[in-house]
Amino acid sequence: MDTGRPDQPRHYVPHALAPEDYLPHSLTQPTVVLGQRPAEAAGLNLDYVEIADERGTHAAVTHLLAQGRRRIAAICEQKGPRAGDRRLRGYRQALAEAGVAYDDSLVLGVGDADLWSSGVAAATRLLRARARFDALFCYNDVVAIGALSVLNRSGVAVPDDVAPAGFDDIEAARFVSPPLTTVDPRRESIARTAVALLRSRMDLADFRELPGRTETAGFALRVRRSSAARPPAEDTGHAP
């Protein structure tokens, strides 16, 4: 959000911004960015609140492995070294820790992870290729719900044949059939952390007195019927 007023702090969500879009403002105003700190921000006096992309994905894939799944496909973002890469690292790490070999043929990239149709197209490709998979981790819930619709229409039993999971815990994840297992990135915690970082700088005579800080938000794994026929009464959570 950019207020347009030089006396007001700013926060940016860098999903649609490159570092050069917001880094200059951090030289003159307290700035908090929701996202991963890029190399360009090293040494600058601005703060970042990162989503637990890698740890959250690791938890989701570990959960799928604990259900006895060993052929876990993945649909990832394909737009460069951002959250998609971090989530893929979490996926690969969970497989490695379980002694499951990484299979590149089970990993598909999508060009736009904000479209339901991306999940539809990726899941359709997997089925048409006759890929053998018993679980599916998706970059986000939008992609996962698109993929789930293909599985349902194709007669694939969920979770018996394939157990899908997503990331973001959007509202729709609770209402699809079956309800979607997903990673909750704890948005309220992210917002509280960002505000606290901003206030701590605004309380100083010169906000540049503090070095740049990076906080990683906690997350919660919301286990639902897409991956477990009898999900636990309580979700498993991972606090900051």
Q: Domain limits of the chain?
A: 10-52+186-220, 53-183+222-238
What is the pairing mode between strands 163-167 and 236-238?
Answer: unpaired
* Residue-level pLDDT at 169: 98
* Residue-level pLDDT at 16: 56
SS3 state of residue 238: strand
Band (234; pLDDT cuts 50, 70, 90):
very low
What is the pairing mode between strands 135-138 and 10-12?
Answer: unpaired
Distance separating alpha carbons of residues 39 and 4, to the nearest angstrom:
27
- 53-183+222-238 sits in which CATH class? alpha beta
- Tens digits of per-residue pLDDT, 38-83? 888 888 888 999 999 999 999 999 999 999 999 999 999 875 556 7
Q: Which of 61, 65, 63 is nearest to 75 (CA)?
A: 61
What's the distance, CA 61 to chain centroid? 13
Q: How many CB atoms lie within 10 A of CB 1?
A: 9
* Residue-level pLDDT at 38: 81
- Tens digits of per-residue pLDDT, 87-122? 999 999 999 999 999 999 999 999 888 899 999 999
> Counting Cβ atoms within 10 Å, is residue 173 exposed (0-12), middle (13-18) or buried (19+)?
buried
Question: 199 φ, ψ to 5°?
Answer: -60, -40
- Side-chain-side CA neighbours of residue 151 (13 Å): 28
Q: Which of 49, 48, 51, 52 is nearest to 212 (CA)?
A: 48
Structure tokens at 214: 């990076």
